[in-house]
């Protein structure tokens, strides 16, 4: 049995302890930092409200980590506004409509990549894509791994691939595709073509009334726009995409398929914001590959990285929320 004065002392002490604990728990970041903890991850995901214009879910011909439905579910849980599904060999207009039906509460778009599997730069493929029921077919990517630039850079410099412009003039098929994009108010995304082709297509696209143009991962080695060319195409109304995947590529990257792509990291984004301007840039992930973080995780990491490189939240919002929404006609 304790005597009364000792009991009183103990209860006074625990009262003081409880008070201190209460203060600690009721306060936020700074108090935790004072006692030696770094700030915990924010309860609201930095991906909330973001539209990722470049994700690669399953089903696919390459190893992917999540299906359309799984990815849409994770993205919705993090409060993301939307996703653009990309597949190098078949249209995603149909599956975008299905995924959106299965995961209500998030916007999902698809499109078509003009590789050999759909007949290359094939106006008929674009025409049928945008007519798909559900109306989610919105993006037309120029050739990626079948493009001349991609093949010469990554396969064999003596081989050739699909071209969309020659000597600064778009090919007749490209001209037809641009007319459909303009008429249906679709989004032109430039894929993996030569930088001179990017300039030619954007120029002709603008002349034909194409409103929404995105230069696919414009600053890495494919397409490899110079700063001059980047300024030239943004002056003609195109936006330049920078993908989180390219924050991790380069000779030291963990997977062989990542080693031949130039790294364009958070520092490069900060520089691009200064040189080109956030109003002309779009940040997306290009993620979904087997073994990599999911695209919504990629968005969270990308936000953290570019913030640490000195980019403001306002510029991040412009590049991840406002510009994708503008391109998609929201
Ligand atoms: Zn991609």
Distance 54 CA to ligand 1 centre (A): 6
| Residue 275: predicted pLDDT | 98
Distance 86 CA to ligand 1 centre (A): 6
Distance 134 CA to ligand 1 centre (A): 23
Q: For 38-81, how does the pLDDT look when each residue is reduced to its tens digit (9 = 90+)?
A: 888 888 999 999 999 999 999 999 999 999 999 999 999 999 99
| Cβ atoms of 210 and 190 closer than 8 Å | no
Rounded to whole angstroms, the Cα distance separating 302 from 265 reads: 9
Distance 123 CA to ligand 1 centre (A): 21
Strand segments, DSSP code E, in 195-238 are: 212-215
User: Which residues are placed with Cβ below 5 angstroms of ligand 1, an ion?
Assistant: 286
pLDDT surpasses 80 at 138: yes
Residue with tokens 């390219």: 246
CA atoms within 13 Å, Cβ hemisphere of 81? 15
Rounded to whole angstroms, the Cα distance separating 291 from 256 reads: 12
Distance 36 CA to ligand 1 centre (A): 41
Rounded to whole angstroms, the Cα distance separating 109 from 132 reads: 12
Distance 8 CA to ligand 1 centre (A): 69
Torsion of CA 116, 120, 124, 125, to 10 degrees: 50
| Residue 83: predicted pLDDT | 98
Distance 191 CA to ligand 1 centre (A): 8
| Cβ atoms of 100 and 108 closer than 8 Å | yes
Rounded to whole angstroms, the Cα distance separating 16 from 10 reads: 10
Direct distance between the N- and C-terminal alpha carbons of the chain, in angstroms, rounded to an integer: 73
| Residue 32: predicted pLDDT | 52
Percent of the chain with pLDDT over 90: 87
24 falls in which pLDDT band (50, 70, 90)? very low
| Residue 41: predicted pLDDT | 86
22 falls in which pLDDT band (50, 70, 90)? very low
| Residue 40: predicted pLDDT | 85
pLDDT surpasses 90 at 157: yes
Distance 277 CA to ligand 1 centre (A): 23
Q: What is the mean pLDDT of the chain?
A: 92
Distance 217 CA to ligand 1 centre (A): 9
Distance 286 CA to ligand 1 centre (A): 5
Distance 113 CA to ligand 1 centre (A): 10
| Residue 219: predicted pLDDT | 96
Give Dmax (Cα) for the chain.
99
| Residue 42: predicted pLDDT | 87
Rounded to whole angstroms, the Cα distance separating 83 from 150 reads: 25
The domains found in the chain, sorted by start residue, are 51-327 (3.20.20.140)
pLDDT surpasses 50 at 316: yes
Least confident range of 33-42, 48-57, 103-112: 33-42
Distance 150 CA to ligand 1 centre (A): 13
Q: For 189-239, how does the pLDDT look when each residue is reduced to its tens digit (9 = 90+)?
A: 999 999 999 999 999 999 999 999 999 999 999 999 999 999 999 999 999
19 falls in which pLDDT band (50, 70, 90)? very low
139 in the Ramachandran plot: left (φ > 0), alpha (ψ -120 to 50) or beta?
A: beta
Name the residue among 154, 133, 146 with its Cα closest to residue 91. 133
Distance 53 CA to ligand 1 centre (A): 10
Distance 146 CA to ligand 1 centre (A): 13
pLDDT, mean of residues 95-112: 98
Residue with tokens 């397409």: 223
Q: For 233-248, how does the pLDDT look when each residue is reduced to its tens digit (9 = 90+)?
A: 999 999 999 999 999 9
Angle at 78 between CA 72 and CA 80, to 5 degrees: 65
Q: For 259-271, how does the pLDDT look when each residue is reduced to its tens digit (9 = 90+)?
A: 999 999 999 999 9
Residue with tokens 């935790």: 32
Q: Which two tokens stand for residue 311?
A: 């980019």
Rounded to whole angstroms, the Cα distance separating 140 from 256 reads: 28
6 falls in which pLDDT band (50, 70, 90)? low
| Residue 39: predicted pLDDT | 83
Distance 169 CA to ligand 1 centre (A): 26
Distance 66 CA to ligand 1 centre (A): 15
Q: Quickly list DSSP for 83-144.
A: EEE--SSS--HHHHHHHHHHSTTSEEEEEEE-SGGGTSS-HHHHHHHHTSTTS-EEEEEPPS
pLDDT surpasses 50 at 256: yes
Rounded to whole angstroms, the Cα distance separating 166 from 240 reads: 22
């Amino acid at each position: 049995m304790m005597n009364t004065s000792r009991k009183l002392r103990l209860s006074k002490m625990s009262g003081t302890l409880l008070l201190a604990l209460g203060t600690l728990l009721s306060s936020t970041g700074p108090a935790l930092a004072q006692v030696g903890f770094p700030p915990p991850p924010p309860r609201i995901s930095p991906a909330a409200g973001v539209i990722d214009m470049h994700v690669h879910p399953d089903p696919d011909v390459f190893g992917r980590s999540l299906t359309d439905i799984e990815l849409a579910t994770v993205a919705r849980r993090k409060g993301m506004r939307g996703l653009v599904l990309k597949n190098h060999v078949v249209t995603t207009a149909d599956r975008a409509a299905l995924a959106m039906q299965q995961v209500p509460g998030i916007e999902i778009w698809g499109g078509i990549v003009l590789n050999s599997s759909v007949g290359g730069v094939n106006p008929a493929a674009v025409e049928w894509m945008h007519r798909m029921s559900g109306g989610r077919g919105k993006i037309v990517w120029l050739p990626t791994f079948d493009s001349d630039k991609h093949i010469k850079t990554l396969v064999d410099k003596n081989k050739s691939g699909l071209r969309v412009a020659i000597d600064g003039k778009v090919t007749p098929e490209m001209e037809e595709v641009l007319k459909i994009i303009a008429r249906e108010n679709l989004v032109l995304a430039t894929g993996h073509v030569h930088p001179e082709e990017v300039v030619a297509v954007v120029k002709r696209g603008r002349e034909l009334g194409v409103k929404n143009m995105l230069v696919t991962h414009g600053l890495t080695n494919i397409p490899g726009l110079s700063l001059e060319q980047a300024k030239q195409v943004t002056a003609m109304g195109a936006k330049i995409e920078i993908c989180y995947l390219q924050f991790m590529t380069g000779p030291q990257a963990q997977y062989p398929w990542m080693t031949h792509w130039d790294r364009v990291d958070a520092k490069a984004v900060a520089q691009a914001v200064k040189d080109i301007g956030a109003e002309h840039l779009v940040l997306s992930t290009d993620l979904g590959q087997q073994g990599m973080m999911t695209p919504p995780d990629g968005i969270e990491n990308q936000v953290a990285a570019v913030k640490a490189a000195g980019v403001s939240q306002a510029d991040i919002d412009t590049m991840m929320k406002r510009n994708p929404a503008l391109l998609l006609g929201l």
